[in-house]
Structure 1
């Protein structure tokens, strides 16, 4: 039972902010989707109410785990809103995960209902529902099995939205990793973290005066963080079912888009598209990018072609979206180290670079990025030992190794676990990748360490070349030797058509290691 004093000083969380944002200017267009369909803020409010009533009618009680497996569509945002107001725990399902990993997430989370998009995931949704006893299968539209949630919601009369009596440590989301470092684990997202994330997004991100946002990132993942700021700023979102570079360019011109959230691989695809110059992209004021490192060479190219529109965020699921930012004016095109930076810490969190003994390191010396503050997760779900490891010493240990310059900008040299030890020398893959990506033939690349009986590990590069370019191993090796020295030179360079990606657009290095593991006849000994 909440006491009078607790109620008097309780903070404002996402459910209350959602109700507030949907209490005024309801005639304004909010969602554009499909073939020029428009949903007003009032329409969206009513849809949230109908979905909430439907979930309650099915007997789902407060705290029930509800999974979502869907392409981008307005119903995903309706489910998100309904879960916030119904005090359900939303479990976004990795759109590229295996059947085994999806089944694991269902079991590990204690999922009671799975909402799936039959247009994109009918086969997977059907398989998951058929293999799980007692799981509600709810389809967004007609499907071969399960209950049509859209049809059920359409029978409900919209009601006024009421925010629940939320506590800061109540869990509202279980966000599973993509499994790139082993079995997927879930971060228990609490309302404390959600409120901190939203406050930082509103205060630190450089939003256009008129928010007309293109949403092609997954709405069930990073894209979900964007809908409340857009609502609160009176903006609108143009929803694409997924990322298609040509359709993105067309949408920016057609809808006069002012901001878009992209991951680096999406930006590369836009810049490399043969029809890039055909479209008027002048309305674009801010490109929010993050989730993975962006090549300084490609970023310089983007600045040249789009202007000073790039805004970088750095964070991770354990401290979501914004630990550091690099603002538009911070993108100095003739400074490679600045372009390799992830920005400076925001003032809403405590950030230190710590060594192995958890001592702060001086400027210019590599240390692990460690974070304290209300943005930091409470725990991993059902993983007490991994929680203790991640939060040892009262800090969130991000696993990212960085150096700080005299201006306070952090430059990530790599993931702590990805550091390569070759012939006794430490090699940070990110630094080699930044050099390789500066070669005119290279569109994108990834560097990993692969086991070798002589060197321990060999520096191995996987390179995607620009169309028409030919394999250029010697010139790439010479470039790395010139810029970084002989210990960093990749001993193996594989040209590939594409690099495997996780759901949030990060290069899947676990998959690369598994697919291209050195065999005996390719062992490098000199």
Structure 2
């Protein structure tokens, strides 16, 4: 019952309440109210050009009017395949305005992946970057897609096919937007496709209330306690891909709600980011761990003013303690870890700036959120004692509506309102949570449970290691054995034998990698998340299992 007592509440800042209330009728209402409140303040800045909150609302409404004229109605799907850019925001809120369902499409997808998302969602309308247009046209005949709007961020325009149009031509002179009634709790606003790490990629249905609740939960948790410190020219860096739910929430939506000027970067380039921090002096930035790894490797990082940023947040993948410590020591900045997944819009747990985080912890539950550590049994969900490991489950307004077109998968994932995260975790006596690993990634070697993240964290302490992935590979004697893949820091030298020796000094024998492979690069997702599954699949193919 200790989880139901919510021990973390005693850690809350006095300005943070236990619950969350949503004051917006829809996601477009979020932009509408911010435009009324912040007016001519810059909402978006992209390579020297800025758009105010009023301009952003005007263009989003023009885009909605143009979609309406094309026959787009409530519940229709709009696929967005854009890098971070003002046009992403315009189209996102344009779709929300009509009660449409925005479908996130990763710009790095190849034709097969684009086709899967479009077919699975039965999407008829799409907005895409000009460089990606040929990929979309290649798969269009196999889909329901009937209208493609193209965004050019510079360079020479080319002729489009059929009735496809460039964004500026599409919205020109369009002003008529119908009144649309939106049920905040029931109407789906977004289909966020999972990465497919456990099979076919599924569309996570996020309602207006899911996304609104979570952005309010997180913003109130991190911004209200430091409200007096926020400058008038409040700036945040939007470098996390907005097509990823982490970037969508903490940048695209949070920036609009808080009246921040989003300094938008279409891609992560360490030197460009460092120069931006030095020049613009932002208040906050969010990134994934591998971005911080890359920054740690940049010469002169300590000279760019990172210590003047109020805080940095990390999510999307485990943040190794040693890498976080290195970043903080070099910059004097605060780097705060959190936890989330697409099915949770995405955040239930975070390290707020008003607390001194515990090393290795992803933080405490945010307002309106219940978290338990359980064993999933035939008799139901049974709580495990404090400090012991089990599957983490979450209940709150940010829990998804379900998987698009997959009721069975939804029933397996949501039980009595609790979302089964698939992550192995533990809670300490103060209410801090620690992610040990993915349930499906856990290695069972000679009957012992080995958590890859724990082994990775140890190996990150070696001064020559830049990145590491640990997986379990089939072994006739042990069932599974531990294998480590390592990328060595530039200029450093490291042998597999040295890795094993280092691991033996810091790990129990059954956790020590029996195999080590040094690679030039480790596989990453489009948002920089290290991908265990790619290396695991390669190993299985090698041995023919």
Alignment TM-score > 0.5, same fold: yes
- What root-mean-square deviation, in Å, do the aligned CA atoms of Structure 1 and Structure 2 show? 2.3
- What residue number does 1:325 align with? 350
- What residue number does 2:406 align with? 383
Is 1:145 the counterpart of 2:142? The answer is: no
Q: Deviations over 1:465-490 (max 9, x none)?
A: 11122223233223322322000011
Q: Normalising to structure 1: TM-score of the pair?
A: 0.91
Question: Aligned-pair distance for 1:164?
Answer: 4.2
Change (3 A) 1:402 1:10: closer
Question: Aligned-pair distance for 1:405?
Answer: 1.6
Q: Is the contact made by 1:197 and 1:322 (CA closer than 8 Å) also made in structure 2?
A: yes
Question: Aligned-pair distance for 1:135?
Answer: 2.7
Q: Distance between the aligned counterparts of 2:432 and 2:415, measured in 1?
A: 25
- What residue number does 2:359 align with? 339
| 1:180-329 equivalence runs, <5 A | 180-206=197-223, 209-210=230-231, 211-221=234-244, 222-225=246-249, 226-328=251-353
- What residue number does 1:350 align with? 370
Aligned pair count reads 507
Q: Distance between the aligned counterparts of 1:482 and 1:251, measured in 2?
A: 42
- What residue number does 1:462 align with? 485
Q: Distance between the aligned counterparts of 2:485 and 2:35, measured in 1?
A: 48
Q: Distance between the aligned counterparts of 1:331 and 1:24, measured in 2?
A: 33
Change (3 A) 1:76 1:161: farther
| 1:6-85 equivalence runs, <5 A | 12-34=25-47, 36-85=48-97
Question: Aligned-pair distance for 1:295?
Answer: 0.6
Structure 2: unaligned runs, 5 residues or longer: 1-21
Question: Aligned-pair distance for 1:159?
Answer: 6.9
Q: Is the contact made by 2:104 and 2:192 (CA closer than 8 Å) also made in structure 1?
A: yes
Q: Is the contact made by 2:289 and 2:314 (CA closer than 8 Å) also made in structure 1?
A: yes
Question: Aligned-pair distance for 1:276?
Answer: 2.2
Question: Aligned-pair distance for 1:275?
Answer: 4.3
| 1:389-468 equivalence runs, <5 A | 389-468=412-491
Q: Distance between the aligned counterparts of 2:499 and 2:42, measured in 1?
A: 51
Q: Distance between the aligned counterparts of 2:176 and 2:236, measured in 1?
A: 28
- What residue number does 1:493 align with? 516
Q: Distance between the aligned counterparts of 1:456 and 1:130, measured in 2?
A: 47
Determine helix, strand or coil for the equivalent of 2:306: coil
Q: Is the contact made by 1:126 and 1:145 (CA closer than 8 Å) also made in structure 2?
A: no
Q: Distance between the aligned counterparts of 2:87 and 2:307, measured in 1?
A: 31
Residue from 143, 148, 151 that aligns with 1:132: 143
Question: Aligned-pair distance for 1:11?
Answer: 6.5
Q: Normalising to structure 2: TM-score of the pair?
A: 0.88
- What residue number does 2:498 align with? 475
Q: Is the contact made by 2:25 and 2:182 (CA closer than 8 Å) also made in structure 1?
A: no
Q: Is the contact made by 1:477 and 1:490 (CA closer than 8 Å) also made in structure 2?
A: yes
Determine helix, strand or coil for the equivalent of 1:83: helix
Change (3 A) 1:10 1:414: closer
Higher RCO (CA 8 Å, separation ≥ 6 residues): 2
Question: Aligned-pair distance for 1:124?
Answer: 1.8
Q: Distance between the aligned counterparts of 1:195 and 1:342, measured in 2?
A: 22
- What residue number does 1:107 align with? 119
Of 139-148 and 446-455, deviating more is 139-148
| 1:510-521 equivalence runs, <5 A | 510-517=533-540, 519=542
Determine helix, strand or coil for the equivalent of 1:398: strand
Question: Aligned-pair distance for 1:109?
Answer: 0.4
Question: Aligned-pair distance for 1:144?
Answer: 4.7
Of 59-68 and 18-27, deviating more is 18-27
Determine helix, strand or coil for the equivalent of 1:513: helix
Structure 1: unaligned runs, 5 residues or longer: 1-8, 333-337
Question: Aligned-pair distance for 1:233?
Answer: 2.2
Q: Distance between the aligned counterparts of 2:103 and 2:367, measured in 1?
A: 30
Is 1:505 the counterpart of 2:528? The answer is: yes
